[in-house]
């Protein structure tokens, strides 16, 4: 029976080619515009590490003095952590894993003397970073907590950087010069570039970037390596990043169970109260908080307000297109009242007419979805030409591809409900008299 309805739908669409083209174009334009913006919104608001996001948390402490006035244009100094606080939280080891970190950029010197040095971005961090964020190694291994304590001059490279510097992804055991210092390569990571870079400083770029090297945080501090994150101090900054008045470190903790989360929140409160009792903190203990990864993403304001507005406008345009399709289908189906009356007189029931027109609406949606997909890909290509940092991520994945066709079919079927219902309720006797 479905094949019969499909044949009727194809005959009807071929019989009114101009009207069919208008409906396909309308739904294609609406789907293309809406799916372009929804794909970008989907990319920017996606879970960057879905297999671990529910276990990752970002602690906040507020060591700033009471008389410090917040500047709305300046980064929040409490978004990062001081060196003494980060080291205290590491030493307490209240989570399954924890890591302190900061971004850095260094000049890499290739093994070939003829090759020019170049600047790369990387991460200064502690040993748990790799296991907590599940980085995979193609060669070697991560450093240990002992290396952190000993301030060892070791480094982990990305696979891409290893190939650039040495021509191979197995460079473990070799020496590399980064900046003015030489480090021993102990591991090479597989490609790892979560989007957005949720673990980085709030002031850093979040999309389209990836860390090319990883160095022990204590080693970076010992060697006074340049940091690329936000450094905030409420006293005159002397260049000492270990001072208790300088915030610059990001801190992440892995908590596997709800009771661990509750216990860690109590720990942060108690730690803040202890620091206040010692005269280190001036603000109340309840200023400490623990954000989940999702809450952290909201704090970072990763999705611009204008992008959300454009997405709503695109959906509004789709609704306008659907209203036009309702009008076109209504006119098309009512013009076929004679055909409907003959079928009813020959024994077809109302539900048969309804299904027939529903199949025709779905077919229009399917063809319109194909056109919408082409227009969406064209729109995404245009976005990738823009200088925005998220532009290169504007790619339609399988989920969005299937959503395009699903939205087109559902929208067209919904648009065809009223016309089909009206066509089903045509009085056959009255129409047959006019034939």
Residue 431, pLDDT score: 47
What does the pLDDT look like over 208-243, one tens digit per residue? 678 999 999 999 999 999 888 788 888 888 889 999
pLDDT tier, 432 (very low <50, low <70, confident <90, very high otherwise) = very low
Question: Hey, what long-range contacts does 283-287 have (CB within 8 A, 24 or more apart)?
Answer: 283/62, 283/63, 283/64, 283/66, 287/61, 287/62, 287/78
Mean pLDDT of the chain: 83
What does the pLDDT look like over 278-332, one tens digit per residue? 988 988 888 899 999 988 888 777 666 667 777 778 878 888 888 887 777 777 7
What does the pLDDT look like over 103-155, one tens digit per residue? 999 999 987 766 789 999 999 999 999 999 999 999 999 999 999 999 999 99
Share of the chain above pLDDT 70, in %: 83
Residue 5, pLDDT score: 63
What's the whole-number mean pLDDT along residues 421-434? 57
Of residues 66 and 423, more confidence is placed in 66
Statement: residue 49 has pLDDT above 90: no
What's the whole-number mean pLDDT along residues 344-351? 64
User: How many other CB atoms are found less than 10 A from the CB of residue 251?
Assistant: 21
What does the pLDDT look like over 144-189, one tens digit per residue? 999 999 999 999 999 999 999 998 889 999 999 999 999 999 999 9
pLDDT tier, 252 (very low <50, low <70, confident <90, very high otherwise) = very high
Of residues 355 and 278, more confidence is placed in 278
Whole-angstrom distance, CA of residue 82 vs CA of residue 63: 8
pLDDT tier, 392 (very low <50, low <70, confident <90, very high otherwise) = low
Residue 350, pLDDT score: 67
Mean pLDDT check: name the lowest of 159-168, 197-206, 341-350. 341-350
Residue 400, pLDDT score: 76
* Closest alpha carbon to 39 in 428, 402, 423: 402
């Amino acid at each position: 029976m479905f094949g019969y309805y499909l044949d009727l739908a194809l005959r009807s669409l071929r019989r009114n080619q101009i009207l069919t083209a208008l409906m396909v174009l309308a739904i294609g334009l609406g789907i293309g515009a809406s799916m372009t913006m929804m794909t970008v919104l989907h990319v920017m608001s996606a879970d960057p590490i879905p297999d671990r996001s529910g276990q990752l948390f970002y602690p906040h402490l507020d060591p700033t003095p009471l008389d410090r006035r917040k500047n709305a244009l300046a980064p929040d100094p409490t978004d990062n952590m001081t060196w003494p606080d980060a080291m205290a939280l590491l030493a307490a080891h209240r989570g399954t894993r924890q890591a302190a970190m900061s971004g850095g950029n260094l000049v890499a010197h290739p093994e070939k003397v003829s090759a020019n040095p170049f600047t790369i971005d990387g991460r200064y961090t502690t040993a748990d970073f790799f296991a907590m964020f599940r980085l995979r190694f193609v060669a070697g291994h991560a450093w240990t907590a002992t290396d952190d304590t000993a301030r060892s001059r070791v480094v982990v490279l990305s696979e891409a950087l290893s190939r650039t510097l040495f021509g191979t992804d197995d460079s473990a055991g070799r020496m590399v010069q980064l900046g003015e210092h030489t480090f021993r390569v102990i591991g090479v990571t597989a490609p790892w570039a979560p989007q957005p870079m949720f673990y980085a400083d709030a002031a850093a770029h979040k999309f389209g970037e990836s860390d090319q090297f990883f160095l022990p945080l204590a080693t970076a501090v010992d060697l006074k390596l340049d940091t690329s994150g936000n450094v905030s101090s409420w006293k005159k900054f002397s260049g000492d990043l270990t001072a208790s008045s300088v915030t610059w470190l990001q801190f992440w903790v892995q908590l596997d169970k709800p009771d661990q989360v509750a216990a860690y929140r109590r720990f942060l409160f108690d730690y803040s109260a202890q620091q206040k009792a010692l005269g280190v903190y001036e603000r109340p203990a309840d200023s400490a908080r623990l954000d989940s990864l999702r809450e952290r993403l909201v704090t970072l304001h990763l999705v611009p307000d204008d992008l959300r507005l454009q997405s709503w406008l695109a959906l509004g345009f789709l609704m306008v297109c659907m209203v036009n399709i309702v009008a076109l289908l209504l006119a098309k189906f009512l013009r076929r009242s004679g055909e409907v009356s003959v079928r009813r007189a020959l024994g077809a029931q109302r539900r048969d007419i309804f299904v027939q027109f529903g199949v025709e609406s779905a077919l229009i949606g399917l063809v319109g979805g194909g056109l919408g997909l082409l227009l969406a890909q064209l729109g995404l290509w245009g976005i990738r030409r823009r200088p925005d940092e998220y532009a290169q991520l504007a790619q339609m994945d399988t989920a969005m591809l299937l959503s395009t066709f699903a939205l087109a079919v559902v929208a067209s079927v919904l648009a065809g409900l009223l016309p089909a219902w009206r066509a089903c309720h045509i009085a056959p006797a009255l129409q047959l008299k006019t034939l």
